[in-house]
């Protein structure tokens, strides 16, 4: 079995059986992601690559758990989150689709321009 598929299987079982996850629920689980992200920053600053790898795995797991909790409540599916990430990369980093190299200034401008358009579109909704 592919490692990612196995991770998804383990997380699905965790969402169904782990009392910690069940009690925290979707609303309480966001703090877990923040805590783990802070540990990523710390490991990175210390250049502790083994710990960095572990903490990245923790964040990956926590994000997937939140996706599964949202799925369980019928809010959205994990594939919707993945599609959202893809669309955001396409909007904010269009040069990756063409393979065109851009300068840091160009990349930053494209990113801020796309972010401003996203904010504007949210206001219209």
Domain range for residue 53?
1-76
Task: Note whether 56 and 82 are same-domain residues.
Answer: no
Please give the tally of structural domains in the chain: 2
Task: Note whether 60 and 101 are same-domain residues.
Answer: no
Q: What is the CATH number of the domain that holds 4?
A: 1.10.287.1080
Task: Note whether 97 and 112 are same-domain residues.
Answer: yes
Task: Note whether 87 and 106 are same-domain residues.
Answer: yes
- Determine the Cα–Cα distance for residues 73 and 49; give it in Å rounded to an integer: 36
The whole model's pTM is what? 0.86
- Determine the Cα–Cα distance for residues 79 and 84; give it in Å rounded to an integer: 8
Alpha helices in the chain (DSSP H): 3-17, 19-45, 49-72, 78-92, 95-98, 104-124
Task: Note whether 115 and 69 are same-domain residues.
Answer: no
One digit per residue, the tens of pLDDT, for the chain of length 125 reads 699 999 999 999 999 999 999 999 999 988 989 999 999 999 999 999 999 999 999 999 999 999 999 999 999 999 999 999 999 999 999 999 999 999 999 999 999 999 999 888 888 87
The confidence score (pLDDT) of residue 85 equals 96
């Amino acid at each position: 079995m592919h490692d990612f598929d196995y991770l998804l299987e383990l997380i699905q079982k965790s969402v169904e059986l782990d009392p910690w996850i069940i009690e925290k629920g979707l609303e309480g689980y966001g703090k877990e992601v923040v805590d783990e992200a802070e540990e990523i920053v710390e490991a990175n600053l210390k250049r502790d690559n083994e710990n960095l790898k572990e903490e990245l795995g923790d964040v990956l797991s926590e994000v997937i758990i939140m996706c599964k909790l949202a799925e369980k409540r019928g809010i959205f599916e994990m594939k919707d989150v993945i599609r959202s990430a893809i669309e955001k990369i396409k909007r904010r980093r269009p040069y990756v689709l063409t393979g065109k190299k851009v300068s840091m200034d160009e990349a930053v401008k494209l990113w801020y321009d796309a972010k401003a358009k996203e904010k504007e579109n949210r206001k219209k909704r």
